[in-house]
Amino acid sequence: MAEQRAQPIAVDRGFWTVTLVLAVLAVASIVFWILFPISKYLPEAIITARQVDTMFRFMAASGSALYVFIVGYLIYFSIAFRAKATDPPDAIGVQIHDNPKLEFWWTLLPAIFVLLLSVISVRIWYEILLEPENGLVIQAIGHQFYFSFRYPNVNGEITDEMHLPLGEPVTLNLTSADVIHGFWVPAMRLKNDTVPGLVTTIRFTPQLAGRYEIICTQFCGVLHSQMHKQVLVIEDRASFDKWYQGWQQRNAHVSNALPAAPGQAISLQGGDAAAGKTLFAQKCTACHKLAPFDQRLVGPGLQGVLHDPAHPNLVNGKPATPENVAGILQNGFTGSLGTMPNASANGLSSQDIANLVAFLNTLKL
């Protein structure tokens, strides 16, 4: 036993050699993270995206350096201090209970690091928060299962992709028409939830033209994984303006009529099937296919909804008549498949409803 205790435990050459090797590896990993071309894999589309990447580089570099040491020593100790076949079976290690000096330093140094990390994070976070407040103010609205946008001076919601002029600050107000969604643009390193009944704001300035994915990051229902949209950052101001004015004209009719209120009497006379068809493509195809009842997307397929002997009733149990279809469009409906928004959520006037019903009536099986 006495010999066991006398085994050299002093920090020896081997330890310092290993420490040196680990230090080299740690430095190598730091250099790796400093040089790693993140933007090659994911563009830095807004000004603060680079800051977020810097934050990541800093944490990844210091994290890997720490990790190299921990795992390095784990492996080194595991090998250096393994029991050998020549050891007596009752051989024991050197009983070290603690080392106040060592423990002091490995409490203090991490604490200092935490302080440093806090300062860096707060600075970068404030740069994100303090993006300019003027500029283009847009509202993004989460729906099951798409995003839509309201631009100043455009009536109603734009269900197309989102266009932004390069270099102009954007204030994006997020909200939701139904459940919580997440609004994430990976290329912008930015996200926020769209919460029903709440408006949250993010601000940024696009610095790189291109087309980027908008992805939903909060589970929002059966088609959550298909809830994508794109944002196009446009360099050429004229083509942005063209798109913008295009929507101002296209949606001009939307503002003229207030959304139909629940229970309001709707005259189905004078429904214009052609206008209904356009409207259907804008407002309905996110959830309904023009296919037989069973081929549902979110809601049922609507091909022949008014002429299908196999489905004489609508999802609300009422007979499939033009009046009852208008009722669902006006009042919405929540069933086992999810929620169909009502006319005000969908921005449908009573004339729109008449047009849509006229269109649906033309669809034969």
Partner 1 sequence: MSVAAVHSGGIADHIHPEPQGFIRRYVFSLDHKIIGIQYLVTGFVFFMLSGLLAETIRTQLLNPNGGFVSPETYNEVYSIHGSAMVWLVVIPLLTGGFGNLVFPVQIGARDVAFPWLNMLSFWIFPVSGLMLFSSFLMGAPTAGWMEYPPVSLQGQAGTSMWAAAIFLVGVSSTMTGLNFLVTILKMRAPGMTFTRMPLFVWGQFATAPLLMIATTALAAALAALFINREFGVPFYDPTKGGSPVMWQHMFWFYSHPAVYIMILPAFGIISEVLPTFARKSIFGYKMIAFSSAAIALLGFMVWAHHMFTSGLAPFLQLPFMILTYIIGVPTGIKIFSWTATLWGGKIHYSTAMLFAIGFVALFTLGGITGIFLAAIPFDLHVHGTYFIVGHIHYVLVGGSMMGIFAGMYYWFPKMSGRLLNETLGKWHFWLFFIGFNGTFIPMHWLGMLGMPREVATYDPQFTFWNRFETFASYLMTFAILIFFVNIIWSIRYGKKAGANPWGARTLEWQVPSPPHYYNFKHVPTVYGLPYDFSQPLPYKGLEEELTDSPPAVAAGAH
Please give the residues from 325 up to 354 whose contact with partner 1 meets the rule CB under 8 A: 334, 336, 338-339
C-beta closer to partner 1: residue 205 or 361: 205
Round to whole Å and give the CA distance between 198 and 75.
52
Q: Per CB under 8 A, does 203 bind partner 1?
A: no
Q: Per CB under 8 A, does 246 bind partner 1?
A: no
Q: Per CB under 8 A, does 34 bind partner 1?
A: no
Angle in degrees, 0-180, between the axes of helices 350-362 and 273-283, rounded to the nearest 10: 100
Helix (H, G, I), strand (E, B) or coil at 284: coil
Q: Per CB under 8 A, does 107 bind partner 1?
A: yes
Q: What residues are paired with 181 via a beta bridge? A: 194
Give the one residue of 178, 231, 282, 315 binding partner 1; rule: CB under 8 A: 178
Give the one residue of 18, 46, 52, 314 binding partner 1; rule: CB under 8 A: 52
C-beta closer to partner 1: residue 142 or 156: 142
Among 114-122, 163-171, 230-238, 254-262, which window interacts with partner 1 (CB under 8 A)?
A: 114-122
Q: What is the CA radius of gyration of the chain?
A: 31
Shortest distance (Å) from residue 47 CB to partner 1: 13
Number of residues that bind partner 1 (CB under 8 A): 84
Give the one residue of 23, 25, 59, 320 binding partner 1; rule: CB under 8 A: 59
Q: Per CB under 8 A, does 93 bind partner 1?
A: yes
Round to whole Å and give the CA distance between 330 and 336.
19
Q: Is 164 exposed, middle or buried (0-12, 13-18, 19+ CB in 10 A)?
A: buried
Please give the residues from 134 up to 153 whose contact with partner 1 meets the rule CB under 8 A: none
Alpha carbon distances (Å) from 291 to 256, 267, 358: 32, 27, 17
Helix (H, G, I), strand (E, B) or coil at 37: coil
Q: Per CB under 8 A, does 25 bind partner 1?
A: no
Angle in degrees, 0-180, between the axes of helices 47-80 and 13-35, rounded to the nearest 10: 160
Q: Per CB under 8 A, does 117 bind partner 1?
A: yes
